[in-house]
Structure 1
């Protein structure tokens, strides 16, 4: 059993195209999507045209929710550029996305944690705004009640796997379309991949358990950065160009 997991596309259709081609080259036919599909200063509509026909099992991210649960005037600066690009049918597709899902009875999917869509499952923040791995007991507490041996999440944009003390595995495939961002809550911090690649994961069930393989794919990231520049979003320009947030 083998499949691909994508997350945090954030409207980057150029990165998504490259990732889907990489998946096809490996002969992988099944994909799951961990949410945050469209929000950002890029091409939400084109991304929807690529994603929706895949019929991939998809869960709702916090930025997906923010496109459909509030008036336009209350949307954030990641939602406003993308909302106008989406058709009513595409917005209805977002509205129908579940909070969590089970893939093939063995894999639990959510965007952030099983409890909410806005908490980093495996990371914590120092007061200096730097991501650190959470203590294992805190990670395990958020996995309480999940029976599946493999759990997938996104949200932090950081590719990572953590094995729990009972052998269950949590995997974040990283971000397809946004290798870095900064945010002001709970205090100013940055997430930075350090390289401008489109990132996803291949998950394979082996005789020794689930095995993740993280894939980093080159694409025309400079063209993506130019799209962000047109919307004046400096953190996106830097992250898409270099993988670092200036």
Structure 2
């Protein structure tokens, strides 16, 4: 089965529309959303409607919860918190309830593929996976063979090459991979970050998502151009911090 795995739209309807149009041209059977549909961008309600209609599987992100019920709002930086409060004025009670009902994680019953916003190790904490040491904790916190995450807005991939128990504890050997294209191998476990649709932070401003073929055991990133200037202008017109508009241009 082919999965399109999307994360971190953050109210960017231009990026989301471009990605969904790209998905339509692919042989995708399921669309998975890894959370943070809102926050930062100027079109939260429109993105909520589009994700609700398009996604087959969705999990919740930390910005979603901050906007839905205020939880974790104090953990956001100043610009993010300001954008979250602004977004909360545009989100309906229906949307709040929908976001609060979303699970923290989803595991496919037949294949065991694991979808979560942050680290699978205590997903309610929304920890980042930025290094192989973070990945080791993630592998230790779940038994899934393939885990897809978002949250950092930076594509990344990690493979657990070895796991064994010793008298002194557990030993894991984890290696970071090039996330652009991966051939998954039998006997190894993987954590893959699909990057961000609506606010990339790896220096490439194009919208990013991933395609996973569970039959052929392949994953590859897709980068989709979109109207960055339009999305940035909307942020500015909404009175949101200029830094949020600049991030779209720089991909940082």
TM-score (norm: length of structure 1): 0.82
**Aligned equivalent of 1:155:** 151
- After superposition, give the CA deviation of every residue in 1:130-176 in whole Å (9 maximum; x if it has no partner): xxx333xx422322252222101111000111111241111111000
- Stretches of structure 2 lacking an aligned partner (at least 5 in a row): 163-187
- Distance across 2 between alignment mates of 1:170 and 1:205: 14
2:28 is aligned with 1:23: no
- Distance across 2 between alignment mates of 1:28 and 1:70: 35
Q: Are the aligned partners of 1:108 and 1:146 in contact in 2 as well (CA < 8 Å)?
A: no
Structure with the larger helix share: 2
Q: Give the match's secondary structure for 2:126.
A: coil
**Aligned equivalent of 1:95:** 100
- Distance across 1 between alignment mates of 2:127 and 2:202: 19
> How far off is 1:51 after superposition?
0.8
Map residues 56-95 of structure 1 onto 2, 5 A cutoff: 56-70=56-70, 76-95=81-100
- After superposition, give the CA deviation of every residue in 1:54-93 in whole Å (9 maximum; x if it has no partner): 242111111111112328x978213112112211111111
**Aligned equivalent of 1:126:** none
Structure whose CA Rg is larger:
2
- After superposition, give the CA deviation of every residue in 1:175-215 in whole Å (9 maximum; x if it has no partner): 00012xxxxxxxxxxxx3212101000011245xx321000
CA RMSD of aligned residues (A): 2.0
- Stretches of structure 1 lacking an aligned partner (at least 5 in a row): 124-132, 180-191
4+ long deviations beyond 4 Å: none
**Aligned equivalent of 1:110:** 116
Aligned residues: 217
